[in-house]
Amino acid sequence: MKIVILDGYTTNPGDLSWDWIYEFGDCDIYELTAVEDIVDRARDAEILITNKTPLRKDTLSQLKSLKYIGLLSTGYNIVDWEYAVSRGIPVCNIPSYSAAAVTQLTFALLFELTNSVYIHNLAVKSGEWSDCKHFCFWKTGLTELLDKNFGVVGFGKIGQMVAKVASSLGMNVLVNTPHPPKDGNFECEFVSLDELLNRSDVVSVHCPLTPKTEGLVNSDFLRKMKPSAFLINTSRGQVVDENALAEALENKTIAGAGVDVLSTEPPSHSNPLLSCDNCIITPHIAWAGFETRQRLMKICEENIRAFINGKPQNTVNNLNLQ
């Protein structure tokens, strides 16, 4: 089969191997692909793999040989999956591969907000501790998390893992989700969104990007939070109204924020969050650990194998093609 990978670099910048994919056919692997180059590069593709290169109807309609779309991600909003349904083309994503890694970064952002590790490291290395007459010092207020309320918005695999870690830290976990699980031993309290925002000392967002969640974190959302509370977003950038968050941070409506995602990636230099001192931003790296990407590629391989065997798995467009 003819296989094309449109944007393989971020998944594999050279520390992993694509050798496995040649078992399935001839493959062209591109570092990046501009939208205007998709059709030329993928014209004969039967299997098309993408991470962030958008595949809209006007593009897909020109790819007459296409039989399968594979994602190098969990999110699938970049693919017109409804059009793919009309063509009988399965769209297969990589679910749950990054739950542990996203949980890890969620707390890395939170710990930086509560303990300012980087600032204190710089202070020590600049000589402030050596010159201090006291045995210790601190540059910022420090916050203990024990007995604080941790709010989780969205309760999929990642939200559930985050909740368990927060509970293990001695925090009281509040959860808002449209579909509370009917089973599972979760040490948490399911509450309305307003109650979660009013009570939480930390609000961590883990919901998918949908028409209902786009712009969910807006001015009204932020006004309902405690002035001492922190916001963490490791879900999707478009869930947050960035102008509203920048205004809330500047006006001390909330104490701080940590985000791994922005509405446009890479962001423009004018993104309002870039100039907020009390906002920590990482460049969408929660998923990027070596082990995490290794797992992603293994699932991608398993997805392709399942498709070739006539039993596609992890389909996001609910096709029954068996």
Which DSSP string do the residues of 234-288 spell out, in sequence order?
-S-GGGB-HHHHHHHHHTTSSSEEEES--SSSSPPTT-GGGG-TTEEE--S-TT-
236 is catalytic: yes
Is 284 a catalytic site residue? yes
Note the residue count of the chain: 322
Report which of 104, 110, 102, 107 is spatially closest to residue 234, judged by C-alpha positions.
Answer: 102
State the catalytic residue, choosing from 120, 206, 284, 293.
Answer: 284
Tell me the CB-side half-sphere exposure of residue 41, using CA atoms within 13 A: 22
In this structure, what token pair is assigned to residue 205?
């967002």
Which amino acid is residue 124, in one-letter code? V
Contact 276, 253 (CB under 8 A): no
Q: Which of 120, 206, 236, 295 is catalytic?
A: 236
Q: Measure the CA–CA gap between 300 and 302, rounded to whole angstroms.
A: 5
Contact 2, 65 (CB under 8 A): yes
Inter-residue long-range contacts of 178-182, CB under 8 Å, 24+ positions, other chains counted:
179/155, 180/155, 181/155
* Cβ pair 297, 285 in contact under 8 A: no
Active site residue 295: no
Asked whether the beta carbons of 169 and 106 are under 8 A apart, the reply is no
DSSP string, 75-99: --TTB-HHHHHHHT--EE--TTTTH
**Where is 72: in which H helix or E strand?**
none
Residues that are catalytic: 236, 265, 284
